[in-house]
A and B are shown apart, each in its own frame.
Chain A
């Protein structure tokens, strides 16, 4: 009997897990760095960083990537010393560790693109090895003057770093408690396990240590998990998190206990060597373990392809049944089956889309590292604030969107923020702020904003640079900034506050994703870029309509309203650039003839009888697009137009509606903007346009 498994087959899974571990390692190293700057220890982050590297090392050894094994090994060694020092790391260690992570990441990317991992770069291992000596000079942390009330069994199993974590937590005003959880078969059957308890408790505080204690336990069990926590939560909430009695809570610090003069007894054994690992809650661990399954994106794409084929086939089936019905055939049962089939397809579509969703927070996890690099390269003091919550979006959208966000954040730090001296001179705090916020809308759109408190965009300087008149609106200014190749990097850099490449951002957000990009800026105060992008772009509900003899589709989510166009109530005001206005609930909305935008020749003076209009938001303002007739709403599979020669602004792709004929899928707002420019409204709204 011989094992026939080839561990090289695990390379794709290895790469996915290595990416995840690297993301975690970067987060923990950034947390360590932030503590180092404040002169504090961060034992938990040091241990997590160590563990991530240790796992990378083990996995890399299994798939035979020696260079990563070596780098991870030396990084581990220096971290072991930091752990011995109670989670303190010399400031000089941070950069070589960052370099180590970058080098591991570089090799993971090489492997992902089918290339062999390059050997360890010259000097890196020596620099990492030198950290060992540097770290040795860092003495153990001075314990905080708090006595922990622990029984001998627990006290003996608590490391110096964990003890310090608890005492420092108490010193900073949090409660140190012991929560006892007793597992059992019945509890496990109802989903209450040590994993679920850890997950719930993690939301209520910081888990410093979890210890299994065997022996008679409350409620008749024979095992107790003692969770040592720092928390502000009340006992009742903690008990509930542990599934209620027989769980119990007790404080680890006596109310009357005086602060001792001497240091509490501490175990003398080394930390990471003596006990292989001791860890506390970490959300990504929960995600990686338990009921989570990691799937390669190509497999999800394949599932989507199969679904796409089913969707197209269903459209053909629907058409065939309609023809049979029209011919008088008895199709009642067939129609019922078709309806049921439609429901099933919609459910399957929703399930597949859910599978493809990734957390925006995970997508953006590299941005703190980017800002850290920019902080070093520009010498600017800058803080990145992320407010992304639990929003999710399709992996395909995330992959396209990330470069645009990276670009905006990079520009904000590199160009928009002033130097610390300039900021102080104009009365701003020395440290600039770049804030990325994100909210998932119910309408299938994700709203993101990148805000800086820098110098704002100087419309005059931008116009001078571009050789155009000074734009009077923010949209006009954005148009100039988004001109291909436009750059304010050199001469105008100090005054414009915006670098080159905004055309790339607009191309991604608007042309590729069918979203929207807007600008808000105030000189001397700062700039915000607003993006709205669809959560998913591959499968969507579309409105299908006819215009000038051809069928088109448009995403339902982008259409605000459908209205009938009453020719008698159209207004064509004089001096309004010939834009016809249509009444919509008492207000006038510009009405654009879609066939003209599409350059579909049609004799002037169409009757308009029975014509409809689709109202969409174009740069925040409603615009109506006149079409001949609506054909209905259906689910479509969007196929991007890959050929650059046929890539047209306002056309986001093509679809097959089931009859084998390709149908263009339009982004009406982009089409209107590209063909007609900004619609001139008789009375521009006040307040939103802030550009000078």
Chain B
């Protein structure tokens, strides 16, 4: 049963992401309200997909991606960035450090679901 870690300091935003991905069968969700909490959870148990905000307390999403890609165990974890920062520099930087997808808020439910499905099925092979 694929496990998704949804990381955003806004609870409403986390709920929105979960609601958007809910139609994908069999997903289970874990929430983290900060980058630090996300890193702690990632170090303690495996996940199949990481949906990550950029602007958060403690450390931002870019640092979380850098951390994840620095770990052998997490090297292939699919990461979707969902952010209000729609500028090209942020997109380029996020993808450069290893994010798989970059989505700008507002995104549509269909768009994030499509991206998540693609990544999960790619991972499953």
Contacts and interface: CB of A to CB of B under 8 A. Distances in A.
Interface of A: 1-5, 7, 9-10, 13-14, 16-17, 51, 54-55, 57-59, 61-62, 64, 183-185, 188, 193-195, 198, 210-212, 214, 222-223, 225, 273, 275-280, 282, 285, 288-290, 292, 294
B59 A277 contact: yes
Contacts of B105: 58, 61-62
Contact of A61 (B24, B39, B56, B84): B84
Given A58-B84, A62-B105, A285 B40 contact: no
Given A4-B23, A212-B59, A278-B59, 12 more contacts: A3-B108, A5-B16, A7-B109, A58-B53, A61-B105, A62-B107, A183-B43, A194-B39, A276-B60, A279-B57, A289-B11, A289-B33
Given A5-B109, A55-B55, A289-B11, A223 B39 contact: yes
27 contacts: A1-B24, A2-B23, A3-B23, A3-B108, A3-B113, A4-B109, A5-B20, A7-B109, A13-B11, A51-B55, A55-B13, A58-B13, A195-B37, A210-B59, A211-B59, A212-B36, A212-B67, A214-B67, A223-B43, A276-B54, A276-B63, A277-B56, A277-B59, A278-B59, A279-B56, A285-B57, A289-B37
Contacts of B34: 195, 279, 285, 289
Nearest to B111: A3
Contact of B110 (A3, A59, A188, A193): A3
Contacts of A5: 16, 19-20, 22-23, 109
A184 B44 CA distance: 7
Q: Which of under 10, 10 to 19, 20 to 34, or 35 or more describes the interface residues of B?
A: 35 or more
Given A62-B16, A278-B58, A288 B71 contact: no
Interface in B94-120: 105-110, 112-113, 117
8 A-B pairs with least C-beta separation: A276-B60, A289-B33, A3-B109, A279-B57, A58-B84, A276-B54, A277-B60, A5-B19
A58 B83 contact: yes
A10 B12 contact: yes
Contacts of A212: 36, 39, 59, 63, 67
Contacts of A275: 59-60, 62-63
Contact of B61 (A55, A198, A276): A276
A401 B55 CA distance: 37
A16 B11 CA distance: 11
A10 B16 contact: yes
A225 B53 CA distance: 20
A285 B9 contact: yes
B49 to A, nearest CB: 15
Contacts of B58: 198, 210, 277-280
Contacts of A51: 9, 55-57
A278 B15 CA distance: 23
A132 B1 CA distance: 49
Interface of B: 9-13, 15-16, 19-24, 33-34, 36-37, 39-40, 43-44, 53-63, 67, 70-71, 83-85, 89-90, 105-110, 112-113, 117
Contacts of A10: 12, 15-16, 19
A310 B8 CA distance: 40
Contact of B12 (A13, A184, A188, A214): A13
B13 A62 contact: yes
B40 A193 contact: yes
B37 A54 contact: no
Nearest to B56: A277
A2 B23 CA distance: 7
Contacts of A188: 40, 44
B53 to A, nearest CB: 8
Given A51-B57, A277-B56, A14 B23 contact: no
Contacts of B23: 1-5
A2 B10 CA distance: 25
Nearest to A47: B57
A278 to B, nearest CB: 6
Nearest to B107: A62
Contacts of A57: 84
B10 A58 contact: yes
B9 to A, nearest CB: 6
B16 A276 contact: no
Given A222-B43, A277-B59, A17 B67 contact: no
A619 to B, nearest CB: 46
A216 B4 CA distance: 27
A192 to B, nearest CB: 11
Nearest to A279: B57
Nearest to A57: B84
A275 B12 CA distance: 23
A285 B15 CA distance: 16
A277 B89 contact: no
Contacts of B19: 3, 5, 7, 9-10
A393 B111 CA distance: 44
A54 B12 contact: no
Contacts of A61: 84, 105-106
Nearest to A183: B40
A277 B55 contact: yes
A290 B31 CA distance: 9
A188 B113 CA distance: 31
B118 to A, nearest CB: 12
B4 to A, nearest CB: 14
Nearest to B94: A276
Contact of B60 (A2, A17, A194, A278): A278
Contacts of B43: 183, 222-223
Given A1-B24, A4-B23, A214-B70, A59 B57 contact: no
Point out which of B10, B15, B53 has the most chain A C-beta atoms below 10 A from its C-beta: B10
A13 B24 contact: no
Contacts of B13: 55, 58-59, 62
A7 B20 CA distance: 9
A57 B89 CA distance: 19
Contact of B62 (A276, A280, A290): A276
B89 to A, nearest CB: 7
A225 B21 CA distance: 31
A287 B104 CA distance: 27
A285 B37 contact: no
